[in-house]
Amino acid sequence: CPGVKVTEVDWQQQRNGAAHHTQEFPGPNLVVRRGQMFTIIMNFSRALKSQEALIFTVGTGPQASEALRTKAVFQTSEPEAGAAWRAIQEAQTENTRTISFTSPPDAVIGRYWLSARASSRRKHSDKKLGEFILLFNPWCPEDEVFLASEEERQEYVLNDSGVIFRGVEKHIRTQGWNYGQQFEEDILNICLSILDRSPSHQDNPATDVSRRHDPIYVTRIISAMVNSNNDRGVVQGQWQGKYGSGTSPLHWQGSVAILQKWFKGRYKPVKYGQCWVFAGVMCTVLRCLGIATRVVSNFNSAHDTDRNLRVDKYVDSFGRTLEDLTEDSMWNFHVWNESWFARRDLGPTYNGWQVLDATPQEESEGVFRCGPASVIAIREGDVHLAHDGPFVFAEVNADYIIWLWHKDESQERVYSDTKKIGRCISTKAVGSDSRVDITGLYKHPEEGNRRKERQVYRKAVRKLFGVGSRRRDRIHRARGRGLWHDDLLEPAKKPSITGKFKLLEPPVLGHDLRLALSLANLTARAQKIRVNLSGATILYTRRPVAEILHESHAVRLEPKEEKNIPIAISYSQYKEDLTEDKKILLAAMCLVTKGEKLLVEKDITLEDFITIKVLGPATVGVAVVVEVMVVNPVLERVEDCLLMVEGSGLLRGQLSIDVPSLEPQERASVQFSITPSRSGPRQLQVDLVSPHFPDIKGFVIVHVAAAK
């Protein structure tokens, strides 16, 4: 009787894809999730005899081995629960067998090959049946990435578009982002390639692949690989405000173009990214691999370079930042990711959301990466737990202190605030684009529970420095100046004046700015004040770009008097130096006669305008017209404007549309058509790009009906 051969395999892609929530991957290969059954139908050259069993081998990685759990050999058996790969025969006809496979819920993820032979044949007669891809499984209760809520799984694993919150604490802006982790060509392949390009894989591929069962390991690798600092990672960061040799971080509308450019460019880092770009790309990669992930924005985010849980800023007598002295910074906002999985290394208390940050800020174990850090550990001040707890804790809890630097190199504290940092921590709502404030997950509410919040802060200081709670230990700054930490927590002396910047009209891109500095005398005696005003265009990291205001006023305040000092900044003063962040920082150093000082700061984001309307119902396969209304924000005629349009499931790639020349302040309507390819809610992004002013970004959700 001739040996039996497998002649054909039906991978049942539609049936398996629907069961595994992977049907949207454009494949050629079957994509399934670990710990869950999938079924194939095998055709044979002849009928199998009753005593002939089928022996299967699965393997992943370049040196698959049973010892490393990257290879398994098993045969069809009775259904039984267990930690190993198993195969069950579901049905048979004369020449076919229907086989269901189940992988262990802690199997290594990645590209697998499957081969088979009949037990009557020699060991080396295995026939390779083909390849499939195995992902993490948030639907499987035994998987470490299990997430119980179906609504959350739809949002954090399957939603391929979202929003990212940017701006300043008092004025939060929403930006659309196309994650595109399922529908777009080659994205899954690229995400797996990121793992293969990591230094850990290049150094020891067999061990690296064997560790890919662990979400802690995989997310830490991805956190390092999304930036290009220690490897040929995906995105190169740039915070100088000049992007001539690449793409400005604000031009990107999603992750797809970035990942495809990196892959097609033979792993050359893509220029350029800033924090939301790194977070958007990492969200795509981790959702694609099957780990529930979301993008989180922290307003007034600390970058604490010396791990003392303080941001120390040094200024001159006009309140201008002294960059050569100031190592720490407080960014207007910073964006990172959270992924949901169990922490077997820390214990079940710390399961759930874990902070991951691919923006290259500080090294972690010699590599620019951050996390996973348990959000619960951050909230409770357990900063000693893996990974990078002190850095993340400082981002949301550091004290903010401003020092006036005198010419004789002495310094004087002119501002301190224990509440300023870590505000309005935000993420997209499940099932809608509204903003959810998750500050309470990161810290105990400061209002009404101030004692608890400061107890956690002191616990974190103790864990970091081993500081005895009663001892006044010294914490040394990098430059050798020592300061008593407890003294710094005391409030500064009660001021005799207060000050606040007030906007007299909304700050609009292309227009003059009109503000006032409002000063109030809190005492019953007259006071003389020297007010030194400065203003600068800044990046969102609050790094100054160019000074646009520098003036001094002598002010006399009568007892209990309040006075407004008018401030005007014309468009011509700021237009040359405004960055794409559209941000300006104002400072007023108020010097009161008896040596008292008051520093007032205000961050301003300039407003812009774009509206997008879909004219008619949207249906798969049917063209629909979109109307975009734009305004020339500047007081001059502009040409060479473009609309850049992108939307996963709405159009392939990017659309670029010329905008006719616009007179000063002119409104114009631009129309174009799109033909949706996928049903459901889809995000359409439209950016107005011009050499004359920063990008103006907008997006709209298009509800697409299935084809009739």
Q: What is the pLDDT of residues 138-147, one digit of tens each?
A: 999 999 999 9
Same domain, 410 and 370: yes
Instruction: Let me know if residue 484 belongs to a domain.
Output: no
pLDDT score, position 111: 98
Please tell me the distance from the alpha carbon of residue 684 to that of residue 702, in angstroms, as a whole number.
Answer: 7
Domain-located, residue 663: yes
**Domain that residue 556 falls in:** 497-605
Structure tokens at 382: 């357990």
Task: Report yes or no on 477 lying in a domain.
Answer: no
Q: Check residue 472 and give its pLDDT.
A: 30
Q: 448 falls in which pLDDT band (50, 70, 90)?
A: low
Catalytic (active-site) positions: 275, 334, 357
Q: Mark whether 625 and 641 lie in a shared domain.
A: yes
At 27 the pLDDT is 78
Q: Which residue has the tokens 């401030």?
A: 567
Residue at 307: amino acid letter:
R
- Residue 195 belongs to domain with CATH number: 3.90.260.10
Do 58 and 71 contact (CB within 8 A), yes or no?
yes
Whether the Cβ atoms of residue 613 and residue 700 lie closer than 8 Å to each other: yes
CB atoms within 10 A of CB 449: 12
Helix ranges (H only) for 403-465 are 439-442, 450-465
Quick: pLDDT tens for 588-647: 999 998 889 999 999 999 999 999 999 999 999 999 999 999 999 998 999 999 999 999
399 is in an annotated binding site: yes
pLDDT for position 481: 42
Among candidate residues 551, 579, 605, the one where a domain is terminated: 605
CA-CA-CA-CA torsion sign (145, 148, 150, 151)? negative
Q: How far apart are CA 139 and CA 162, in angstroms?
A: 21
Domain membership of residue 492 (yes or no) is no
State whether 346 and 262 are in the same domain. yes
Which burial class, exposed, middle or buried, applies to 333 when counting CB atoms under 10 A from its CB (0-12, 13-18, 19+)?
buried
Instruction: Write the CATH number for 648.
Output: 2.60.40.10
Alpha-carbon gap, residue 604 to 537, rounded angstroms: 9
Q: Any binding-site annotation on 453?
A: yes
Given a contact cutoff of 8 angstroms between Cβ atoms, the answer to whether 584 and 545 are in contact is no
Q: Are residues 588 and 632 in the same domain?
A: no
Q: How far apart (Å, rounded) are the C-alpha atoms in residues 144 and 354?
A: 13
**Assigned domain for 143 exists:** no
Least confident of 113-127, 253-267, 278-292, 683-697: 113-127
Phi, psi of 376 (to 5 degrees): -65, -40
β-bridge mates for residue 525, sequence order: none
- What does residue 380 show for φ and ψ, rounded to 5 degrees? -95, 0
Tell me 214's DSSP state: -
Tokens of 161: 């578009």
Whether residue 184 is found in the same domain as residue 331: yes
Please check whether residues 20 and 68 belong to one and the same domain.
Answer: yes
Query: Are 104 and 247 found together in one domain?
Result: no
Sort strands 30-33 and 497-503 into parallel, antiparallel or unpaired. unpaired
Q: pLDDT higher for 391 or 487?
A: 391
d(CA 321, CA 587): 10
Mean pLDDT for the chain overall: 93
Q: Retrieve residue 159's tokens.
A: 């939603």
What residues contact residue 387 under an 8 Å CB cut-off, 6+ apart?
Answer: 220, 364, 370, 371, 372, 373
Residue at which a domain ends, from 135, 169, 196: 135
Residue 331's closest CA among 394, 271, 278?
Answer: 394
pLDDT tier, 183 (very low <50, low <70, confident <90, very high otherwise) = confident
Comparing CA positions, the residue from 622, 607, 602, 596 lying closest to residue 677 is 622
Q: Are residues 586 and 652 in the same domain?
A: no
Answer yes or no: do 164 and 100 share one domain.
Answer: no
Q: How many domains does the chain have?
A: 4
User: Measuring CA to CA, which residue among 218, 10, 36 is closest to residue 137?
Assistant: 36
C-beta neighbour count of 672 within 10 angstroms: 14
Q: Is 420 left (phi over 0), alpha (psi -120 to 50) or beta?
A: alpha
224 pLDDT higher than 50: yes
What DSSP character marks residue 156? I
540 and 434, same structural domain? no
Confidence at residue 492, expressed as pLDDT on a 0 to 100 scale? 55
Question: Are 106 and 236 in a shared domain?
Answer: no
Residue 145 lies in a domain: no
Beta strands in 214-257 (DSSP E): 235-237
Q: In the block, which residue shows the tokens 């050259």?
A: 45
Which pLDDT tens digit goes with each residue over 513-552?
A: 999 999 999 999 999 999 999 999 999 999 999 999 999 9
pLDDT, residue 584, reads 98
**Residue 594 is which amino acid?**
K
At 57-103, the pLDDT tens digits run: 999 999 999 999 999 999 988 777 667 999 999 999 999 999 999 99
Domain boundary among 465, 482, 506: 465
Angstrom distance (rounded) from CA 115 to CA 105: 21
Residue 26: is the preceding peptide bond cis (ω within 30°)?
Answer: no
Does the annotation flag 29 for ligand binding? no
Q: Does residue 490 sit within a domain?
A: no
Q: Is residue 242 one of the residues assigned to a domain?
A: yes
8 Å CB contact between 517 and 503: no
Q: Are strands 235-237 and 270-273 parallel, antiparallel or unpaired?
A: parallel
Alpha carbons within 13 angstroms on the beta-carbon side of residue 518 total: 8
Higher-confidence residue of 468 and 371: namely 371
Alpha carbons 460 and 466: distance in angstroms, whole number:
9
Q: Residue 337 annotated as binding?
A: no
Q: Compute the residue count for the chain.
A: 708
474-516: pLDDT as tens digits:
333 333 344 445 555 555 567 899 999 999 999 999 999 999 9
**Cα–Cα dist 297/168, whole Å:** 11
The torsion of the CA quartet 391, 396, 402, 403, rounded to 10 degrees, works out to -20
The type of residue at 399 is: D
The DSSP bridge partners found for residue 171 are 168
Average pLDDT over every residue of 315-323:
96
Q: Are residues 439 and 304 in the same domain?
A: yes
> Amino acid identity, residue 95?
N
Rounded CA separation 586/549 (Å):
8
Q: Which residues of 377-391 are buried (b: 16+ CB within 10 A; e: fewer)?
A: bbbbbbbebbbbbbb
